[in-house]
Amino acid sequence: MRSDNASAQAAFAKASDYLERQPLVANHRPLSWITDHVCRIVEQPAPIWWWVSTIVFGAVAALTPAMLTYLVATGVGVWGLNVPVCWAWDITNFVFWIGIGHAGTLISAILFLTRQKWRTSINRSAEAMTIFAVICAGIFPAFHVGRIWFAWFLFPIPNANAIWQNFRSPLLWDVFAVSTYFTVSLIFWYLGLIPDLASLRDRATTRFRQMAYGILSLGWRGSNRQWTHYEKTYLILAGISTPLVLSVHSVVSFDFATSVVPGWHTTIFPPYFVAGAIFGGFAMVLTLLIPFRELYGLHDLVTDKHIDNMCKIILLTGSLVGYAYSMEFFIAWYSGNPFEIYAFTNRAFGPYWWAYWAMITCNVAAPQLFWFKYCRQNPWVVLAIVMFPNTGMWFERFVIIVTSIHRDFLPSSWGYFSPTWVDITLFIGTIGLFVFLFLLFVRFLPIINMFEVKGITPQADPHTHNPDNPHGAHPRQAHSLDESRVHA
C-alpha cells in the first residue's frame, strides 16, 4: 500500500511536469521588473535600428500621400479600374487592412470575456495594430468614390442636393460599421492605456514628459474607487466590442453578398469573412510581435506559450477558411446554376488561376504546419510560416473581388484587370504607413499592457499568495499531491 502510494506520487510528479501550466510571466518576475522593462523602451534613447527603420518606413509611407495627390489631381482612372472590373486593388486592399484589424479586437474583447489571461501581454500591441490597419483601410474606399471632396455625402449631413443617403445600401452600412469600429477600437485602446500612461508619468524625469503623460493619463491615481468603475467600463466595452468585431467584417461581406454577381452572392460570406479576418489578423500580430519581442528582450512577457496559442488560433481559423473555400465550390455545383458553376471553375482554372492557387497554398496548406509542435515553438519558423497567411489573405480578397466580376453574365463584356504602377505604389505606401505608425507607437507608448500583466502574476492574487514568498508560490507546491485523496 505504501509503495503504491509512493509510486503514485512519483507518477504524479512526472505527469505534472507535462501538465504544469506554463506561467504567463516567465521567471517569477517581480512587479517592478515589469514596469521597468516596459517603460524603459519609451524612456531610453531610441536605438539605431529604430531610427533607421522609422526613416525607411516613413519614406515608404510618404508614397501614400504622394500617390493620393496624383490620383486626386489626375482622376481615379490612374488606377487600373475599368468596366467590367471596377473594384480591384483598392477594394482588395480595403478588405485586407480591415481584416487585419480584427485580431486586435478579438484579443482585447473576446479573449477578455472568455477569461483567456494570456491575452494581457499581447493586447496592447494588437489593438494598436487594429487602429493603424483601419486607418490604412479607410484610405481606399474614401478615394475610390472618385471625387474625394464629396466624400462627406456618405454621412447624413444635409446637403444642397437635399437627397439623403440610401439606408438600404450595404455600402452605407459599411460607412457606419467601419467608422463605429474605428471609434470604439480607439476608445478601447485609449482606456487600456490610461493606467500605463500614469506609470510613465510617475517615472518621468523631465517636466515635459511628466506633463504630457500626466494630461494623457487624465490624472489617474490607481485608487480602488477608480478601479471599480474602470473594470466595469472595460467589461462593458469588451461586451459591446465582441458583437461589433463580428459585425464589421460581416457588413463588409454584405457589400458582396447582397449583390447578384455569381461568386459574390453567397450566404456563407459573413462567417467566412470573419474567420479569414481573424486568421490574417493573428498572422500580422505575430509578424509584428516576434521581431519586437526579440529587439526589446520581452521574452518573459511574450513567452513561447503566447506564440504557441496564437499559432493554434491560426491553424483553427485557417482550417475554417479552407472549409469555406471548399463549401463554396460544393454549393456552386449543388445549386446547378451554370453561372455560379462557371464563376468557380473560372476562379480555379481561368486566367486568374495563379491567384487562386497562391491563396490555397498560403491559407489552407501553409498553416497546417502548425500541427507540429516544432513549428509552433520556434519563433523564426513561426515568422516564416505567418508570411504565408499575410500574403494569402491579400490574394483571397483579390480572388473574390476580381475573378467574380471580370467575367459575369455577358461574354461580350469580359475583361482582364492588370494593376497600374499607381495601384502598386499606393499599396506599398500603406504598408509603409502601417509599419511607420507601429514604430511610432512602440517608441512613445507602452507596448505591453503593464497593469493587466501585473494583475495576472501570482503575487497579484490576494487570496492564495503567500506573503513570505514574494515571488509567488512555487507551482509544484501549489499543485502538490493531496495526501488524503491517495489514501482514500
Residues 181-240 that bind another protein (CB under 8 A): 183-184, 187-188, 191, 195, 198-199, 201-207, 209-210, 214-215, 218-233, 236-237, 240
Our CB check for another protein shows the closer of 21 and 463 to be: 463
- Residue given cell 513549428 in the structure block: 375
Closest separation in Å from C-beta 206 to another protein:
6
Closest separation in Å from C-beta 181 to another protein:
8
Closest separation in Å from C-beta 25 to another protein:
13
Our CB check for another protein shows the closer of 3 and 205 to be: 205
467 binds another protein, rule: CB under 8 A: yes
Sign of CA dihedral 219, 223, 224, 225: negative
452 binds another protein, rule: CB under 8 A: yes
Number of other CB atoms surrounding residue 481 within 10 Å: 14
477 binds another protein, rule: CB under 8 A: no
Give 386-389 contacts, CB < 8 A, sequence gap 24+. 386/282, 386/283, 386/284, 386/286, 386/287, 386/314, 387/283, 387/287, 388/283, 388/361, 388/362, 388/363, 389/279, 389/280, 389/282, 389/283, 389/314, 389/318, 389/362, 389/363
Our CB check for another protein shows the closer of 373 and 471 to be: 471
CA–CA separation, 184 vs 23, rounded Å?
32
Burial of 429 (0-12, 13-18, 19+ CB in 10 A): buried
CA–CA separation, 15 vs 88, rounded Å?
55
Instruction: Tell me the backbone φ, ψ of residue 85, rounded to 5 degrees.
Output: -95, 90
Our CB check for another protein shows the closer of 14 and 229 to be: 229
Closest separation in Å from C-beta 35 to another protein:
5
Our CB check for another protein shows the closer of 198 and 358 to be: 198
Our CB check for another protein shows the closer of 83 and 163 to be: 163
329 binds another protein, rule: CB under 8 A: no
Closest separation in Å from C-beta 184 to another protein:
5
Span 30-49, contacts to another protein by CB under 8 A: 30-32, 35
Q: Which stretch binds another protein (CB under 8 A): 97-105, 127-135, 338-346, 463-471?
A: 463-471
Q: Is 453 helix (H, G, I), strand (E, B) or coil?
A: helix
Using CB under 8 A as the binding criterion, the count of chain residues that bind another protein stands at 75
Among 58, 80, 84, 455, binds another protein (CB under 8 A): 455
Our CB check for another protein shows the closer of 39 and 400 to be: 39
244 binds another protein, rule: CB under 8 A: yes
Among 164, 334, 416, 421, binds another protein (CB under 8 A): 164
463 binds another protein, rule: CB under 8 A: yes
249 binds another protein, rule: CB under 8 A: no
Q: Write the binding mask 398 to 437 for another protein: x where contact by CB under 8 A, - elsewhere.
A: ----------------------------------------
Q: Which stretch binds another protein (CB under 8 A): 19-27, 29-37, 327-335, 431-439?
A: 29-37
Our CB check for another protein shows the closer of 338 and 467 to be: 467
Closest separation in Å from C-beta 211 to another protein:
9
Q: Looking at the DSSP assignment, which residues form a beta bridge with residue 82?
A: 85
Q: Please give the C-alpha separations between residue 412 and each of 141, 264, 271, 402, 408, in angstroms, as whole numbers.
A: 28, 21, 34, 17, 10
Closest separation in Å from C-beta 93 to another protein:
23
- Grid cell locating 73: 489631381
Our CB check for another protein shows the closer of 336 and 462 to be: 462
Closest separation in Å from C-beta 152 to another protein:
15
Our CB check for another protein shows the closer of 48 and 162 to be: 162
Nearest to 123 by CA among 386, 449, 442: 449
469 binds another protein, rule: CB under 8 A: no
Our CA dihedral for 455, 100, 266, 353, rounded to 10 degrees, sits at: -140
Span 331-370, contacts to another protein by CB under 8 A: none
Nearest to 111 by CA among 129, 91, 127: 127
Q: Which stretch binds another protein (CB under 8 A): 4-12, 160-168, 295-303, 351-359?
A: 160-168
Burial of 91 (0-12, 13-18, 19+ CB in 10 A): buried
Span 100-119, contacts to another protein by CB under 8 A: none
259 binds another protein, rule: CB under 8 A: no
Q: Is 50 helix (H, G, I), strand (E, B) or coil?
A: helix
CA–CA separation, 400 vs 390, rounded Å?
16
Non-local (6+) Cβ contacts of 156 within 8 A are 164, 165
Q: Looking at the DSSP assignment, which residues form a beta bridge with residue 157?
A: none
Question: What's the start-to-end Cα distance of the chain, in Å?
Answer: 11
Span 139-158, contacts to another protein by CB under 8 A: 156
User: Diameter of the chain by CA atoms?
Assistant: 92
